[in-house]
Amino acid sequence: MASVTRRLLRELQEARKGLNEELVSLAPVSDDDILRWRAVLRGPSDTPYKGAAFEIDIDIPEQYPIKPPTLTFVTPVCHPNVHFETGEICLDILKTQWSPAWTLMSTCLAIHVLLANPEPSSPLNCDAANLLRCGDIVGYNSLVAHYTRMHARRLTP
């Protein structure tokens, strides 16, 4: 557990440098539990998520970084690769493609990229994926914008 704590404290120090703060803020939920973190992702520009903030819970196993963390959206997100009710995220680096080279910040940045680049062939939200599969980009963007307005925290410009 000591090596996990050292690694996470280094990651926290990097996160506090604020290099990616315009996209992601990241910190432990409390000083008492280094294995539970919370991230806030800004919606990618040029997407219907723009101007919104999305919270993600991060549960870190004691075997981190050998085993991946579990990241779950707290904010309901309409996206083909996010389960709308549970917040589960379908992303290969969270499962089979995990590597200890990934950090919590780089993982959150990968999720940020996923928001702008959905993969409709492995959906957790079939309605959103079907719109993309049918080529209905206007319908997809409208649906995403609607749910983003309903559920996400709006950021002030």
Look at residues 44, 39, 23 and name the one whose alpha carbon lies nearest to residue 117: 44
pLDDT tens digit string along 16-60?
887 777 899 999 999 899 999 999 999 999 999 999 999 999 999
**Active-site position among 90, 108, 126, 134:** 90
Our answer to whether residue 90 is catalytic in this structure is: yes
Question: Is 55:77 a contact under the CB 8 Å cutoff?
Answer: no
- Please count the structural domains in the chain: 1
Domain span holding position 137? 2-154
Distance of CA 83 to the CA centre of its chain: 12
Question: Is 56:77 a contact under the CB 8 Å cutoff?
Answer: no
Cis, bond preceding 68 (omega within 30 deg of 0): no
Question: Is 73:15 a contact under the CB 8 Å cutoff?
Answer: no
What confidence tier does 122 reach under pLDDT thresholds 50, 70, 90?
confident
Q: What is the CATH number of the domain that holds 71?
A: 3.10.110.10
